Homo-oligomer: A and B are copies of this chain.
Amino acid sequence: MSVTVRQAAAALRDADDILILTHSRPDGDTTGCAGALCRGLRTLGKTAYVLPNPDLTPRYSFLIAPLAAPEGFTPGFVVSVDVADKHMLTDNAAPFIRKINLVIDHHRSNPLFGGLNLVRPEAGACCEIIYDILMALEVPLTLEIAESLYVGVSTDTGCFKFSNTTVHTHEVAAACLATGLDSGELNRMLFEVKRWPRLQMEQIVIETMEFYHDRKIAVALLHRADLDRTGATVDDLDSISGLPRTVEGVQVGLTLTENRDGSVRVSVRSTKEVDSSVICRRCGGGGHLRAGGASFPAGVGIEEAKRRVLAVTEETFHESES
């Protein structure tokens, strides 16, 4: 059953012993949602906890680690935040998977797996919906709650840079800053600081970048040897596939990564002139208008994978130009 913000707030007002679930490989939005909702419910005098997330990284642990549910806590009401589907929950959420009372999310694909479901795909970040619920519950915005909400809205919108940023995203950010939050210091930690292996991989991407089709196509190759030498982790590679598209004039950026098992992952990023999903589908993958991916099995090799995806991309260009 789909519900409004007011109905979701009413359900929470009537509930107690609330357990909040986040998604696996937790990001700033799911942890921000959980941190803000849990703290907000506590100011209303309720018992509320966040289920410990085994994938939690140091980056976001300050938001939810202090709110961890104790061993053996028996919830009276279970809420998931920013979780697109049941299979996105962590393994330790298994005991609660059939008893989720309320789903709060902003993924269009959400199959409404809760008893009550508040899903608003137009929200840039799920934290915007949490903000609306807290306002409906008349929870005063403390500095700590504002910090959680701000991390969610800023990280899910690339610090207000991406197209998913809305009027409401900025309204929520304004409300957070009104509490006295130092967003500059927070953003430095979230967006500016990079691990040295990540910067070394950026250096390699720029150094080895190749251009094709009148410099409208840029190709970057991430070889296994480079990944091993720099010690770059999956986290370090996050968003690095956006780098080739940042070059002035480039309309399609292709990033090929050698996986440990010998398979090759292709990430496609395009500007508004080209549909990434067409390129990806023709390589056996899928995706959106501006971003998508595909994989080549072990045995193909990174050079042959490059040859194939480049041929498909050139073909797509020729079709649109003819």
Contacts and interface: CB of A to CB of B under 8 A. Distances in A.
Interface of A: 154, 159-168, 170-171, 173-174, 177-178, 182-185, 187-188, 191-196, 199-200, 202-203, 206-207, 242, 245-248, 271-272
B160 A160 contact: yes
A161 B154 CA distance: 9
Nearest to A171: B174
Please classify the interface of chain A as helix (H, G, I), strand (E, B), loop, or mixed, using the class held by over half of its residues: helix
B184 A163 contact: yes
Contacts of A184: 161-165
A314 B263 CA distance: 47
Contacts of A191: 161
B178 A163 contact: no
B160 A173 contact: yes
B196 A247 contact: yes
A248 B178 contact: no
Given A154-B160, A194-B247, 11 more contacts: A159-B161, A160-B173, A163-B185, A170-B177, A192-B245, A194-B246, A195-B248, A196-B248, A199-B247, A202-B202, A202-B206
Nearest to A199: B206
A191 B183 CA distance: 19
A206 to B, nearest CB: 4
Nearest to A183: B165
A184 B184 CA distance: 21
Contacts of A165: 177, 183-184
20 contacts: A160-B173, A161-B183, A161-B184, A161-B187, A162-B187, A163-B185, A167-B174, A167-B178, A170-B174, A170-B177, A185-B272, A193-B246, A195-B247, A196-B247, A196-B248, A199-B206, A200-B206, A202-B206, A203-B206, A203-B207
